Structure 1
Amino acid sequence: MAENVRIRETTAEDMPTLRSLIEAFLPFVSNAPGDAVTITVEDLVRDGFGDKPCFTCLFLEVLEDGKPPQVAGYTLYYFAYSTWSGRVLFMEDIFVLPEHHRKGFGKFILKHLAKIALDNKCERLSWQGIKERDCTHFYNAVGAGCNSAWSNFKLDVQGMASLLEEP
């Protein structure tokens, strides 16, 4: 990697920048309209920096002499638990701004997360990826396996409320 970069943990003051990066990430993972992202800066501050933080976010920054660090990407992760294998680091997002693609930054972030996972005695680093997107070749190149035997399910707020109303 030719450029001088660093990864640093975000602070509550970084959440407006994170919110903007999430918006920039949207077209790469969805055909949803720009208003599909409903999380607010306040939500991110509460959930990332409250009494019981739900996630950790890291910024990838490009360092150039005489200039302030430039955020080039981010990853957001949290720890989960598998009843089969134990501790898991789950990567919710990984995103590098398009002008910084093909510079090795994504792999740099994944390597950093792998070290965090190993340092925390995690049995695996997991994430979800959209099969139809260009990212799958990147995931395969770093040695990630895809478990096609499993399906992802979710209940949104309306679904959860409906479930609770059932007898």
Structure 2
Amino acid sequence: MQISLKMKSVAGVISALILPGAVQAETYLGAQANMMRIDRGAVSDAELTGLTLRAGMVFHELVSGEVRLGKAPDEDTYRGITVENDVYYGVYARLTPPVPWAVAPYLVGGYSYVENEFDDEMVRDDGAGFGGGVDMGVSDSMTVNLEYLRLIDNDFGKQELMGLGVSYFF
């Protein structure tokens, strides 16, 4: 039930941001292969491999809005504790300075939600997510990116992603 309410809230925010500018804005879809690192409680440096799907809209040459959904289907064990990721998602703003070359740095920040299992016990975290990366244009409608994203950083621990991905612009 709690996930449902959060998903509805995220959908409402996305609709409010996207619908008014949908006619004028450029949209994109993308995917990233990720290495996820989890530090929480007794677990330190658990590493999982995941996939993130991304959808975004460029509102201005400097500002984009983006939603992400991902999962790390494998598991890791740290000192006898099995660590699994069930899902992670978020809503983010991206700031990209206008640069005259094909490689463009960017900053990303917003809201992240993560569900993990530690020895089959569900643990949920949410909060501010932030990071940065670089996009490299390979054509007029496609970019490849390398990114670091701190999904969660709170009193309980931190979770981060390193990703390599591709985006297609419409």
TM bin, normalised by shorter chain, reads: under 0.3
Greater fraction of residues in helix: 1
TM-score of the superposed pair, with normalisation by structure 2: 0.26
Answer 1 or 2: higher relative contact order, Cα 8 Å, separation at least 6: 2
TM-score of the superposed pair, with normalisation by structure 1: 0.27
Structure number with larger C-alpha Rg: 1
